[in-house]
Amino acid sequence: MGIGESFGIAFAKSQLAAGTRLPNSGQVFFSLADRDKIAGLELARELSRLGFRLAATVGTAGFLRSHDVIVDTLVGKVGLGDLAIDAIKLITSGEVQMVVNTPSGSSAHSDGAEIRTACVGHGVACVTTLSAGFAAAKGIADTRQHGWRVRTLQELHA
């Protein structure tokens, strides 16, 4: 649970309570299912506006780039070695601070499990739905603007 002056701050606090701190800067890795690419485009734009660099799988990067979103790093599928770095290597290298992964299909779910495991093991924030991605972006923006403030339940209900 997180309580805050805004939904974004409450979400950021809930993530912190669950053991994951939302990043304030760095790189975000995107791997989006086809059904999520249109909505994911706006999330990528928002995170870019917040100053994050973007990394993405080839298919996601192609879609984002075709809509004028800059993707700095191309990432190969898990274990394929088709590019210099795959999602797991990127996460474990410390070069990514947040992951947006919306899996679809059996191989994607298997890859998603490996991605989430790597994120947990390396303290990288990971969201698996666009709703959570937008909430994370709002949390990052709101905590930058308003900071963190701890309030007791008594203060909240006074």
- What's residue 74's pLDDT? 92
DSSP state of 26: S
What residue ranges do the domains of the chain occupy?
23-131
pLDDT (mean) for 14-33 = 94
pTM: 0.90
At 118-156, the pLDDT tens digits run 999 999 999 999 999 999 999 999 999 988 887 777 887
Here the tokens at position 153 are: 């339940």
Q: How far apart are CA 112 and CA 72, in angstroms?
A: 22
The fold for domain 23-131 equals Rossmann fold (3.40.50)
Rg, Å, the chain Cα set = 16
Q: How far apart are CA 25 and CA 67, in angstroms?
A: 23
